[in-house]
Copies of this chain bind each other. A is one copy, B any other.
Amino acid sequence: MDIKPDKHEKMETRASRKKKSVIGFFNVCKFYGESDAIVDVSFTISKDDFALITGPSGAGKSTVIRIIYMGETISSGSVIVDGMNLLRITRPQVPLLRRKIGVIFQDFKLIPSKTVFGNVALVLEAAGVRSKNIIHDKVMSVLETVGIGDRAASYPPTLSGGEQQRVAVARAMVGEPKIILADEPTASLDPEAADAIYQLLQDVHARGTTVVVTTHDLNLLEKGGTRVIHLKSGRMVSIVNQDVWNGL
């Protein structure tokens, strides 16, 4: 816990000789008052990873996600995301970091007073896209992809749980981010819809996006990712590099 960020950065550099790592956690701890959400967690996720973070309820999965998009600051350790040390980041850099990341929030975080279209379009507007046409086309195509193109004009509170989750998925993908963080992206979905979303995530992964999914869905775990990180009570239980494991 006394290891300085510089040291981590060096470790990072060494690690990336083989594989370009996009997300790196080094001895990260996150405390809330007396309780700890994350204790001494270290892992790296490379650019071409499809990482799964798993563990029981309250294990710290969402906390890891929140730390990556800077929804939460860490108590100790250091975190590197796409080459940026999150401890050293300046305030104006935060939005730039976040635009590289698409997040599917566990509680969706849709704006109730904006339509589905408006919610998804906001990502592009915030990223500085000015053209109405480009926004319209991109948003509608991603809404079609997740299967709720017909609800574009609805407001989130009028959608079913699964529909809201699909809007959240659409919003995370519309900006074509480098990294997608999916916090239980299929919890509210029936197996069929869940499969479709999972397939979608694999498609974007195939196109070069780093994907991090938290899940307690056994099916998802069985399908496997390239790297599976198992947490319990905020501590690391295991990291499995699926490709290495398969090669055993």
Task: State the A residues within 8 Å of B (CB).
Answer: 32, 55-58, 61-62, 106-107, 158, 160-163, 165-166, 183-184, 187-193, 216, 218
Write out the residue numbers on chain B whose beta carbons fall within 8 Å of the beta carbon of A190.
55-57, 216
The answer to whether B58 and A163 have CB atoms under 8 Å apart is: yes
In Å, the complex CA distance between A78 and B160 comes to 23
| Separation of A200 and B5 alpha carbons in the complex (Å) | 47
Q: Which residues of B contact A62 (CB under 8 A)?
A: 160-161
CB pair B192 A56 closer than 8 Å: yes
Question: Which residue in chain B gives the minimum CB-CB distance to A166?
Answer: B57
Query: How many copies of the chain does the oligomer comprise?
Result: 2
Q: Which residues of B contact A57 (CB under 8 A)?
A: 160-163, 165-166, 188-190, 193
Q: How far is the CA of A217 from the CA of B165 in the complex (A)?
A: 16
Residues of B within 8 A of A107 (CB): 107, 161
In the complex, the chain B residue whose C-beta lies closest to that of A63 is B160
Contacts of A192 in B (CB 8 A): 56
Give min CB distance, A169 to chain B, whole Å.
12
Given contacts A57-B190, A191-B216, A191-B218, 11 further A-B contacts (CB under 8 A): A57-B160, A57-B188, A57-B189, A58-B160, A62-B160, A106-B161, A106-B188, A107-B107, A107-B161, A161-B184, A187-B188
In the A-B complex, list the 8 residue pairs whose CB atoms are closest, starting with the nearest. Answer: A57-B162, A190-B216, A56-B190, A106-B161, A187-B187, A58-B160, A57-B193, A57-B190
